[in-house]
Structure 1
Amino acid sequence: MMDTTDTGLLRKATLQEVSLAAGVSTATVSRYLNDRSSVSEKTQVRVQAAIDRLGYVSNALARALASRRSMTMGVMVPSLTSTVAARTLDAFRSRLYSSSYGVLLSSYAADRDGAVEATRRLLEREVDGLLLIGGETHPEMVELVKRQAKPFVVTWMPSGGEGPPFISYDHCAAMELVADHLLSLGHRRFGFVVGNTVRNPRFAERLLAVRARIEASGGILDQEHVAETPTNWIEGRRAVRTLLGAPGPRPTAIIAVNDILAAATVLECQSQGISVPGEISVTGSGNSDLAESLIPSLTTLTTPKTEIGRTAADYLLARVDGKPAEANITIAVGLEVRGSSGPPPAGS
């Protein structure tokens, strides 16, 4: 029978009871709670089994007061619906969990004031470090974090120069990889489907890179065939509809900045009776589950979502411990060639 208090509530298990159940000292249990990697794997299993059996929950506030750390990392993400952010966050959380850290997550509005206020509220929780996910990070957010003298890192957006520390991939090289694939198949007329290039510098950088590569190779990317749109299905399809109806010869290849917009492009082409890839090749970015399940399956960039999350966690853990850590890391991308890309139609 479980112990109860005088009020009939279950009594909380204690650290001493966990140590007795696990057959280890209270000091060993404390070390496990503060840093799992500080004890052997065999001991980790025994202590965790005792914790699970007793339903033990440690007092994080007491540990924070003693260590002067909250044992929590904050995360700012522009959207909770992004699969890219979700995979990065999952890898980040998993790596932190193994070091007994938790994660406090907040999303922020597109407008500057809302984003800064969301960042301030997260910092008020006294997180030990901060991860800023995405290319829509406002400079004022970064400046606010800097003033708190807390370790932080930005992902998915290389800043370079005197900008904030980042862990990302080379967006220009990624676009060149896609363009080279399509150019090698014989395509010369291109379309491009992109998100808001004003609010998201990452999208602007991709547009410049892909246009430069195409034009340097003798290809054409007319402004009429650049569709700038919110990155969702409905507005994405509407933008592609406009692109396909633009005057002049139709593109034989359309590059989208993510898999959602690429899928919207495929669906809009199919709704108009345009064969993919027979008449128009389509590529995406992100290698999401959607990319493989689409018919035809999507040729797409394999972006290093998991690696970015793990590397960001390692960076923040080292910085919180006062250890040197390398930031401004660029991780390589790949291209998964599938059924949505092929040679242009004969005579195009």
Structure 2
Amino acid sequence: MADVGRIAGVSAMTVSRALKGKSYIAKDTLERILAAVDQLGYVLDQSAGSLSSRRSGFIAAIVPSIDNSNFADTARGITDTLAQTSMQLLLGYTNYSVEREEELIESMLRRRPEGIILTGGKHTSKARAMLFNSGIPVIETWDVPENPVDAVVGFSNTDAMEALVDSLVAQGYSRFGFITGSEASDTRGHQRHIGFDRALSRHGLTSDRVVAIEAVPIRMSHGGEAIRALLERYPDTDVAICVSDLPAFGAIMECKRMGLVVPRDIAIAGFGDYEIASISEPGITTVNVDSYGIGAQAAGQMIAMLENRGTAATIRTSYHVLHRGST
């Protein structure tokens, strides 16, 4: 700031006030300061101010994967909503590991975020203790945990999967297969499996046609391997539900390679309404969970809590089944 001040012909304090926007600075003075900033490539160091004000100016968010377009949409919803404020987003990803999430929570809390947004409600005991003791707003998303840390913005994966199964039973399907991932790591996938079992039990149908892909994260290619394995074990399966749209797309491509017509020979459904679900041929029947809206609502709730306009609450987000050509 002293260097900027020398070039602009003002004091370092004036430079500080101008860059923080906390007091009136004459237009020509501000222009000289900004020109000097550009000339030097100077970036205001807010760390000292953060120590005195206890405001860091950022929100931390942790997602399972940055490869997954749904979680990318959630991060975008957070960022777009935070754009209404001066706060920025610090993003980390766990690769579906609660141990990695614990490490990220500890690392981020050391940087004193003003709030933290998490994906899901399953955490290590140490992570929960750190979150409880942090003294900042915590929002869990993409789930409705039984014992939330603080606020919640999410939906029941179990109920959403039940809605999908119910709609397919109504279409006349009765021999259901389920393609899932590593449910020990993906708790949301596990909850969807519970919804699959629960819905079929209500309809008096069996739910034992299951292929589990022990991979994290589950990808399109895994769907091809899984649909082939499912049909080898249960060749009369008339519909296969995949834990997400990615393996569903892979399953459809593998069916084409096997000479099977979807949905005539076997129907395929996914979950999540990824972009690929609408451009696939045939389009993939799925569940839209408004990934962007989850992020936007979580950020909105965070802003309200930071401004003391709202307390910890459970906000249930919407979902709906989308029927397309794959069923």
- Secondary structure of residue in 1 paired with 2:168: helix
1:227 counterpart (211, 227, 233): 211
Pair 1:241 & 2:237 matched? no
Between the aligned partners of 2:112 and 2:22, the Cα distance in structure 1 is 27
Give the alignment of 1:23-62 within 5 angstroms: 27=23, 58-62=44-48
CA shift at 1:324, angstroms?
Answer: 2.9
Contact 2:56–2:112 (8 Å) recurs in 1: yes
- Secondary structure of residue in 1 paired with 2:92: strand
1:286/1:113 CA distance change after superposition, 3 Å: closer
1:214/1:95 CA distance change after superposition, 3 Å: same
Give the alignment of 1:80-119 within 5 angstroms: 80-119=66-105
Between the aligned partners of 1:133 and 1:329, the Cα distance in structure 2 is 14
TM-score for both structures, normalised by structure 1: 0.78
1:157 counterpart (111, 118, 143): 143
- Secondary structure of residue in 1 paired with 2:111: coil
Between the aligned partners of 1:254 and 1:94, the Cα distance in structure 2 is 36
Aligned residue type for 1:71: G
Between the aligned partners of 1:92 and 1:51, the Cα distance in structure 2 is 30
CA shift at 1:171, angstroms?
Answer: 1.4
Between the aligned partners of 2:140 and 2:165, the Cα distance in structure 1 is 27
Partner of 1:318: 304
CA shift at 1:257, angstroms?
Answer: 1.6
Pair 1:281 & 2:267 matched? yes
Between the aligned partners of 1:192 and 1:90, the Cα distance in structure 2 is 31
Contact 1:18–1:54 (8 Å) recurs in 2: no
Partner of 1:33: none
- Secondary structure of residue in 2 paired with 1:265: helix
5+ long unaligned stretches in structure 1: 20-24, 30-46, 342-348
Aligned residue type for 2:314: N
Aligned residue type for 1:114: R
Partner of 2:197: 211
1:28/1:167 CA distance change after superposition, 3 Å: farther
1:162/1:288 CA distance change after superposition, 3 Å: closer
- Secondary structure of residue in 1 paired with 2:313: coil
Greater mean alpha carbon deviation, residues 252-261 or residues 227-236: 227-236
CA-based RMSD of the aligned residues comes to 3.1
Contact 1:187–1:219 (8 Å) recurs in 2: no
Greater mean alpha carbon deviation, residues 253-262 or residues 165-174: 165-174
5+ long unaligned stretches in structure 2: none
Partner of 1:34: none
Pair 1:298 & 2:294 matched? no
Aligned residue type for 2:229: T
Pair 1:131 & 2:117 matched? yes
2:324 counterpart (338, 343, 346): 338
Contact 2:4–2:36 (8 Å) recurs in 1: no
- Number of aligned pairs? 308
Between the aligned partners of 1:114 and 1:161, the Cα distance in structure 2 is 21
Aligned residue type for 1:27: S
1:28/1:244 CA distance change after superposition, 3 Å: farther
CA shift at 1:266, angstroms?
Answer: 0.9
Contact 1:175–1:209 (8 Å) recurs in 2: yes
CA shift at 1:73, angstroms?
Answer: 0.6
Between the aligned partners of 1:272 and 1:233, the Cα distance in structure 2 is 16
Partner of 1:22: none
2:176 counterpart (190, 198, 201): 190
CA shift at 1:106, angstroms?
Answer: 1.6
- Secondary structure of residue in 2 paired with 1:143: helix
1:237/1:139 CA distance change after superposition, 3 Å: farther
TM-score for both structures, normalised by structure 2: 0.83
Greater mean alpha carbon deviation, residues 84-93 or residues 280-289: 280-289
- Secondary structure of residue in 1 paired with 2:23: helix
CA shift at 1:116, angstroms?
Answer: 1.7
Aligned residue type for 1:69: R
CA shift at 1:168, angstroms?
Answer: 0.7
- Secondary structure of residue in 1 paired with 2:270: strand
CA shift at 1:321, angstroms?
Answer: 3.0
